Amino acid sequence: MKNVTLLNGRSVPCMGQGTWYLGDNPSTREEEIKALRTGIESGMTLIDTAEMYGNGRSECLVGEAITSYNREDIFLVSKVLPQNAGKQRMRIACENSLKRLGVDTLDLYLYHWRGSIPLRETVEELEKLKELGMIRDWGVSNLDIDDMEELSKYDKKNHCQVNQVLYHMASRGIEYSLLPWMRKQKIALMSYCPLAQAGSLKRGLFTNKTLNEIAKGHDATVAQILLAWNIRGEGTIAIPRTGKMEHTLENAKATTINLSKEELELIDSIYPAPNHKVWLDMQ
């Protein structure tokens, strides 16, 4: 599987596993744990979660799923809510996440989205957690270019590793200004909802005739084409979410698909990148 090298020099897989909504239903818990473990066995060792997901239930699920693996073989990402992203509260929030996950440190801790706490204060608190060894590094989520430019004023040591934002074939707004800026700063893109939540965020993706023809040519599914497209560039980590083992395997196989120049041009013609500033899409 292709890897992405972060600013800190760590190498992570270009395809990880999202966990939004996982852990909410006790009746599907075992199936979801099997799906996560199947992903790990398939090379998707980066797992993304958050204290917000199910009020911590997702973190508990992930903690159970990784118990049989060497901690150093798993790259754990979690997120802090905006109201917890300031003095004193962030440390408590991080401690609670670590307890639910059953680990001593996070590989990456993300500021989930921007709230009322000053960005400078949030960066300072993230740096304190890093100094304490509670997190190895930090990043952000759902920050647009203005936010990222402001962040860079406070991130004097260039410790921000990723910006996790919504990105899929039918939502390409970040390509106008945010993504080029991130590429220049060598901040990785972590894309959530790369499958547009199985098409619910943008109707027509899975029934599009051109995408189905491209998929047929690769003996693949449209979902796999969407993922292959998502990670086509350098510095992108996709984190599709599924609680089903068969879909996990399908996601992993998408990393072997290489779309041709002609296929990418066809996709651009039906789902073009914007030629003007578009506000950051979050749902």
pLDDT in the model for residue 47: 98
Q: Give the predicted TM-score (pTM) of the model.
A: 0.96
pLDDT in the model for residue 283: 64
User: Please, what's the b/e burial string for 2-27 (b: 16 or more CB within 10 A of its CB; e: otherwise)?
Assistant: eebebbeeeebbbbbbbbbebbbeee
Mean pLDDT of the 231-243 span: 95
Structure-model confidence comparison of residues 234 and 283, the more confident one: 234
pLDDT in the model for residue 15: 98
277 pLDDT band (50/70/90 cuts)? very high
Long-range Cβ pairs for the range 247-250 (8 Å, 24+): 247/35, 247/223, 248/17, 248/35, 248/36, 248/38, 248/39, 248/42, 248/44, 249/38, 249/42, 250/221, 250/223, 250/224
pLDDT in the model for residue 200: 66
Query: How far is Cα 81 from Cα 110, in angstroms, rounded to an integer?
Result: 9
- Catalytic amino acids? 53
Strand partners, 13: 3
Percent of the chain at pLDDT > 70 equals 99
Strand partners, 18: 241
pLDDT tens for 159-205 read: 999 999 999 999 999 999 999 999 999 999 999 999 998 666 777 89
pLDDT in the model for residue 280: 87
Helix (H) or strand (E) holding 191: strand 188-192
pLDDT tens for 195-213 read: 998 666 777 899 999 999 9
Q: Which residues contact 244 (CB under 8 A, 6 or more apart)?
A: 31, 35
3-state helix, strand, coil split of the chain in percent (to 5) is 45, 15, 40
38 pLDDT band (50/70/90 cuts)? very high
Torsion sign (Cα): 193, 203, 180, 236: positive
Q: Which domains does the chain have, with CATH numbers?
A: 3-7+10-203+230-259 (3.20.20.100)
Query: How far is Cα 174 from Cα 281, in angstroms, rounded to an integer?
Result: 8
**The tokens 């799923």 sit on which residue?**
65
pLDDT in the model for residue 232: 96
- Reduce the DSSP state of residue 209 to 3 states and report it: helix
248 pLDDT band (50/70/90 cuts)? very high
Identify whether the C-beta of residue 239 lies closer than 8 Å to the C-beta of residue 22. Answer: no
φ, ψ for residue 165 (rounded to 5)? -135, 160
pLDDT in the model for residue 199: 64
pLDDT in the model for residue 54: 96
Lookup: tokens for 107: 């590989």
Query: For residue 146, how far is the Cα from the chain centroid?
Result: 20
pLDDT tens for 81-139 read: 999 999 989 999 999 999 999 999 999 999 999 999 999 999 999 999 999 999 999 99
Query: How far is Cα 123 from Cα 121, in angstroms, rounded to an integer?
Result: 5
DSSP 194: T
User: Please, what's the b/e burial string for 245-270 (b: 16 or more CB within 10 A of its CB; e: otherwise)?
Assistant: bebbebbbbbbebebeeebeebbeee
